[in-house]
Amino acid sequence: MVDLSVKIGKLRLKNPVMVASGTWGIEYDELTETDLIGAVVLKTITLEERSGNLPPRIAETASGMLNSIGLENKGVEDFIRNKLPAMSGLEAPIVVSIAGDDEKQFSRLARSLSRFARVNALEVNLSCPNIKYGLSEGLIAQDEKATYRVVKAVRAATDLTVIVKLSPNVTDIGKIAKAAEAAGADALSVANTFIAMAVDVDTWKPKLGNVTGGLSGPAIKPLSLRAVWEAAKKTSVPIIGIGGIMNASDAVEFMLCGASAVQVGTANFVNPQTPAEIVKGLEIYMKKRGIKNIKSLIGSLKMG
């Protein structure tokens, strides 16, 4: 038997494979065995309903895709009334992703969600590249002080595990990671999508209605991997590696660079069985090499 379990804050996951916010919904429960997954992170919710960005919202690029959804969601009340009860049957821990304009909105969301036993952790989305945050000029996760303020407020509002989702669109992700850790983050999700664009050469128009969007998929894996490595060097909280993970070997790379867990995003669209296949693949990888505990992979990159 190999031990695949990992800890993210107070959250004990039976394996390190999670599904990323915005790429998983209860719809997938019909196609896959959700019980095999370590945890699910739900689509980001905000206090009020948001209608999202203008279409087109999706464009395909070389080994990747751009999206500019714009956090379309029906707001926290609808989530509590309609979405959360529909997930009561899930065995996997539920991480709810939240976003707001400023620390007040984030802490209100954290407080209202903490009342529900089925909410097992919060992922604080400071890094959506497709919306305007009120607190800073760019993304909150591009500003150390704004990051600190929001995480501090969320920390004060909840006893749940607080995971902070960072942006790779920064000069030094280590600095932002440290600010989040200092403010009380239990873990860091590294990272969100890369701001990018694509152009239609027939119409001379951007391929996305929002002009720019977030790049995801295998194209960004080496970039995200480096971001995880940088963030892991500067902090001591668990890191969740995200970015183009398609198979178990990708997951191992992220763990060796310092990730305690991984999130599978775009791969769900390509093959909904990917998270479950990664769990099985990790087990095979460990057995082959006589590794008993997956925790021994975390940050074990050999240098020189």
| Catalytic machinery residues | 128
Binding segment toward other proteins, per CB under 8 A, in 65-73, 103-111, 181-189, 275-283: 65-73
Residue of 7, 9, 58, 226 that binds other proteins (CB under 8 A): 58
Establish if 75 lies at the interface with other proteins (CB under 8 A): no
SS3 58: strand
Binders of other proteins among residues 191 to 250 (CB under 8 A) are 217-218, 246
Residue 26 CA: distances (Å) to CA of 36, 62, 122, 176:
14, 29, 18, 32
Residue 213 and residue 218: Cα distance in Å, rounded? 16
Residue of 6, 16, 24, 135 that binds other proteins (CB under 8 A): 24
Establish if 16 lies at the interface with other proteins (CB under 8 A): no
Binding segment toward other proteins, per CB under 8 A, in 67-75, 121-129, 132-140, 173-181: 67-75
By beta-carbon proximity to other proteins, the closer residue of 147 and 274 is 274
Residue of 15, 23, 158, 192 that binds other proteins (CB under 8 A): 23
CB of 164 to other proteins, least distance (A): 23
Residue of 268, 275, 285, 286 that binds other proteins (CB under 8 A): 268
Q: How many helices (H) and strands (E) does the chain have?
A: 8, 16
Binding segment toward other proteins, per CB under 8 A, in 9-17, 64-72, 175-183, 296-304: 64-72
Residue 81 gets which letter from DSSP? I
Residue 254 and residue 135: Cα distance in Å, rounded? 31
Residue of 94, 272, 291, 299 that binds other proteins (CB under 8 A): 272
By beta-carbon proximity to other proteins, the closer residue of 209 and 299 is 209
In the chain, the largest separation of any two C-alpha atoms, in whole Å, equals 57
Residue of 3, 7, 9, 56 that binds other proteins (CB under 8 A): 56
Residues 159, 160, 164: CA angle, nearest 5 degrees: 115
With CA atoms as reference, report the closest residue to 141 among 156, 157, 123.
123
Which H, E and C letters describe 121-152, residue by residue? EEEEECCCCCCCCCCCCCCHHHCHHHHHHHHH
60 burial (CB, 10 Å; 0-12 / 13-18 / 19+) is exposed
Binding segment toward other proteins, per CB under 8 A, in 22-30, 162-170, 192-200, 226-234: 22-30
Residues of this chain that interact with other proteins (CB under 8 A) are: 22-25, 27-28, 30-31, 43, 51-52, 55-60, 62-65, 67, 69, 72, 217-218, 246, 266, 268-273
